Structure 1
Amino acid sequence: MASTRNNANNAARTVNTRKTANKNVKKTNRKITNRKTTNRKTTNRKTTNRRAGGKTPFSPVDLKKLFPPWGSEDALNQTANKEATDIIQAVYHDINAYCNLERLAKEQAYGCQEMFSNMFVFTEGFVEREISYYMSCMESFKAEHGEFQPVTPNSRFLEFVTGLGWKMFAICSHAEAFRRGIKESSDRTWGFLLQKIQENFLSIELYAHSRALKWRNILCAYQNSPIPGLPDMKPEIETYMKWKVDHPHHTVITLDGKLKEPTYNGKLQQHINESIYEPKKWGGKKQDPTIRHKPNGSPTNVGSDCALCGSPVSCDCRLTSRAGELVELREYPDTGTGVRALTRFQRGDTLDIFMGELLPTSVEEVYPLQQNDDKLGKERYLCTICPHQFGNWTRYISHSCRPSTRFTIRTIGNRVVCTVDALRDILPFEEITVSYGGKYWRSKDYDCLCGHCDGSGTD
């Protein structure tokens, strides 16, 4: 089990760039997005009474609860809960890896077809063994006692299917972490795992659906043969999730357990893989202001040394991050749409690049992309990254006065970008947050609702 969890954590870890950007690049902790983008619920500052005493005090820490005595019931539950969390985060990772490998196999990428075929055989074989072993135990018991008894040595299979259904069993069977967990985990860990899968049922179902996981393929051989003591799988196989997914980040899980699309001014907020530069909005100017070289290849005075390789001129480096594949959009009380981590990120990890439309002028509630210019001795304005209509998952990160990430302007490859960097370790299923900065809140007539301040937006 330890190796599975370590492999999942290592595979899910994003590229960790330099902890400090070049001296010529100005760091920023401000979120470059619009209040409407995050659907933030606000309270009018003029009519709100700030909490007495200013900042919210830290809650007292119960050390006995945080560090229970060794061997106690609380300590055993704490360990089992962590093991279950490691398994379920690895389930997300394994499903994502399986679907990515299937896509590459269809594209006939070198070596991927054989690898995917092997993974499918492992998954199919696991389901076949569980069902066959269950049936053989049933037949043996009936032959010996003359009656049916739904209790078998592989009762975890029975417990899972009767409690969570065939669809969830088929989805989880694609994950090596689950296949090992059902066999190797302790009873205490297994109990916590069932609870966590139940709590994240819609999340796992949507995750598999949005990545086009073909979970029905491993059940089709059994759909016309009812299995004694287990629910009929045919209705689940014939029922399809009525939700069209163009991209995983085009869906938000609401507080009441429903699904909705993220919108701005009534239009879908579309996902993009790279910021958009439209020359028409720049008066016909053809040169992207964030690019480090001119069309003829000669260098510009944009950017500084590459944060990945240190090159003083334009290079081919790109930020290869998988963080976007291991997060989901979820609605939170008070603050609206936010981002929930589905794996563990470590302090210093660069999660992704903030993307949007590159505009020549400032946009309401959106901060500009700037850099320090040593020759001029002042900040140099490059553009404004507007994520209202087009962007990626980073635009949904909500504000907190005690954030888990920050926005940093740095040079990567052939352009200047704004990255999202982890300030501390981010736990699985934790909301990812960032500080919008004091300037943002000083210009607003509503209060910060992060719960860590007096409403001023500063801790």
Structure 2
Amino acid sequence: MFDWIFRPRNLLGSGIIPSASINPLPTMNTTLQIFHTQNNLIMQNSTHQIMAQIYRDISDSSTPGLMLNAIDTLQKNPSLVQFISTSGKPPNNTSSLAGLLSPSIQSGILIHFYEAAAVIEKTRIWLECIQRGEETTLINELAQGAMSKATLETREYLSRTRYSEVASSCGWMMLSILATSGAFREATKLLDQTQWQAVGECIKANFRSIEVFAKVRGLRWDILLPPGLCSGSVGHIPVDHPHHWTVPLIGPARRLQYQGQLQINIDRCIYNPNAFGILGRPRNWPLQWPYPRDPTLRNFDDLCSVCCTTICACHEKPMAQPLVEITEYPHKGNGVRALERIANNAVLGEYIGEILPVHANVQDEVYGMSIFDSRRVAQVGMISSAIKGNWTRYINHSCEPNSVFETVIVGQHRKTLVKSIREIDIFEEITIDYGPFYFDSQKLCCCGSLRCRYATPERVEASRKWAERMYHARQAGR
């Protein structure tokens, strides 16, 4: 069986739980010392690592996640295809490989969700035994024939009790979602009470985030629940692109819109020469350029950022996108929140949208980004992500940002990348400095930084009143 597809990432040896702190045959006292620490910062870091792995597990447990993991693993290990193919040779194209994987994936999904369903069944039986006062009898029956009765008693008692806590405080739906995470299942057995309490509080604080994250990715948490158990859902969320939805401060998730139009996620910039041709050549257009021309094309003497030559066939590879979500921030509106720790100097994504001429009849002061020629002499176009773009368009400004825009040349095109300038922790907002030209007398900085460059008392008060009006107006329109 292909357990390489669905095996949860073990907390032991992953840096989340130090393996040296685990006794091979722990007793009640030693088991509860796994996360013993006197430093609250270390405890918070451990909690954040576990939460990041829970989000990653949920993503991997969705059907698209399982398919991507399976394809990636088989491409790296062609010999594994022999188990499901008589030829012993993997196909050359991804679509054929996906079709070949179907029987393996179907059986693997059953095994993976069987482990998750066992969590629900254990919890249901445990709660029934508590009601009848028979939990001690159940543990004794489970311990028969075990190598270490103390080990099994401790871990079974801890896991079942903690599953019941989640079901009682967050609902069966949330327990069903979390049950698909191997990191969550192990945490219920291995964490001491202080650390478990920190993880539990973090789960409660991110209840809506976890629900939206799972539902929009198509996680089949619902098939784990037997009839009659209340799901506790806050509303229906269709399977969709994750960055089409925002997690609000209150109420159900909302589909992202701009001026009444649904915003759409795209993977690369869209250039339409007709949009340039009908308006005529602008006066500041570089003389050496033909018209119309894609303004993101590099000059003949520009060096590629990858190979440092002027003539090359370099092209960008698909980026490993970090786990992020669009969420609502007080006084700011929508912003981007990291759902995993992001390293310093990491490329987070590319700012993309529709490429439009400078003199187009489009006023995109919210999502528009100017395109200059390589010598930054003249503005030759703009990237408008008002309707079509990706998650980078929702990054808010901060006077103390953790990311920057960086223009690079890859092959024949110039691209605007988002790059971290320090480590970004899970649940931290991803921010960028919009620059001094963005904030004129009409724009208000709501970053909240102690070093805010635009936070005069008058502007702060105006910002607060404006944010309150926008909030109440939106609530009234629901």
On whether the aligned pair clears a TM of 0.5, the verdict is: yes
Q: Give the Cα separation in 2 of the matches to 1:268 and 1:182.
A: 41
CA distance in 2, matches of 1:155, 1:328: 31
Q: CA deviation at 1:264?
A: 1.9
1:391 aligned to which of 379, 389, 392: 389
Q: Quick one: distance in 2 between partners of 1:81 and 1:390?
A: 37
Report the 3-state secondary structure (helix = DSSP H, G, I; strand = E; otherwise coil) of the residue aligned with 2:343: coil
Give SS of 2:13's match: helix
Aligned to 1:98: 61
Q: 2:370 aligns with which of 368, 371, 383?
A: 368
Structure 1 residues 101-116: aligned runs within 5 Å: 101-104=65-68, 109=97, 113=102, 114=104
1:88: which partner in 2? 51
| 1:258 equivalenced with 2:246 (yes/no) | no
The residue number in structure 2 matching 1:41 is none
Contact 1:397 1:434 in 2 (8 A): yes
Query: SS of the residue aligned with 1:379?
Result: coil
- Residue identity in the other structure for 1:344: R
Instruction: Give yes or no for contact 1:92–1:342 (8 Å, CA) kept in 2.
Output: yes
90-99 or 418-427, which deviates more:
90-99
- DSSP-derived class of the 2:325 partner: strand
| Structure 2: runs of 5+ lacking an equivalent | 1-10, 18-35, 72-94, 139-152, 279-290, 457-478
Per the alignment, residue 273 of structure 2 pairs with 279
Task: Say which is worse superposed, 330-339 or 396-405, in terms of deviation.
Answer: 330-339
Aligned residue in 2 for 1:182: 188
CA RMSD for the aligned pairs?
3.5
Shift of 1:394: 0.5
Larger RCO: 1 or 2 (CA < 8 Å, sep 6+)? 1
Contact in 2 for aligned 1:335/1:450 (Cα 8 Å): yes
C-alpha separation between the residues in 2 aligned to 1:352 and 1:144? 53
Give the alignment partner of residue 456 of structure 1, picking from 450, 454, 457.
Answer: 454
What is residue 404 of structure 1 aligned with on the other side? 402
**Residue 134 of structure 1: CA displacement?**
7.1
Residues 419 and 319 of structure 1: is their aligned pair in 2 closer, same or farther, counting only changes over 3 Å?
farther
User: Paired residues, what number?
Assistant: 364
Structure-2 change in CA distance of 1:159 and 1:144 (3 Å)? closer
Length-normalised TM-score, structure 2:
0.67
Percent of pairs identical after alignment? 28
What TM-score comes out, normalization by structure 1 length?
0.69
What amino acid sits opposite 1:447 in the alignment?
L
The offset of 1:85, in angstroms, is 1.5
Q: Per the alignment, do residues 371 and 286 of structure 1 end up closer, same or farther by CA in structure 2, a change over 3 Å counting?
A: closer
Aligned counterpart for 2:166 among listed residues 160, 164, 180: 160
Shift of 1:369: 1.7
Contact 2:212 2:247 in 1 (8 A): no
**Alpha-carbon distance, 1:188 to partner:** 1.3
Instruction: Write out per-residue CA displacement over residues 272-327 of structure 1, whole angstroms, 9 at most, x where no aligned residue.
Output: 111111121010667533245xxxxxxx62753133x5454343432433335x11
Question: Measured at CA, do residues 102 and 436 of structure 1 come closer, stay the same or move farther in structure 2, by a change above 3 Å?
Answer: same
Structure number with the higher helix fraction is 2
Summarize deviations over 1:394-422 as a string: whole Å, max 9, x none.
Answer: 11111111001110111124421100000
Instruction: Tell me if the contact between 1:447 and 1:455 (Cα under 8 Å) persists in the aligned partners.
Output: no
Alignment-mate amino acid for residue 313 of structure 2: C
Q: CA deviation at 1:129?
A: 6.2
Deviation at 1:141, TM superposition (A): 6.0
Amino acid paired to 1:368: S
**Residues in 1 aligned to 2:166 and 2:412: alpha-carbon distance in whole angstroms:** 51
- Compute the displacement of 1:257 (Å): 3.9
Cα distance in structure 2, aligned partners of 1:144 and 1:447: 62
Letter in 2 for 1:401: C
Comparing 421-430 with 82-91, greater Cα deviation is found at 82-91
Cα distance in 2 for partners of 1:79, 1:406 equals 28
Is 2:329 the partner of 1:332? Answer: yes
Residue ranges of structure 1 left out of the alignment (5+ in a row):
8-72, 225-231, 293-299
Asked whether the 8 Å contact 1:399–1:433 carries over to 2, the reply is: yes
**Matched residue, 1:211:** 217
| Residue matched to 1:17 | none
User: Is 1:290 the equivalent of 2:296?
Assistant: yes
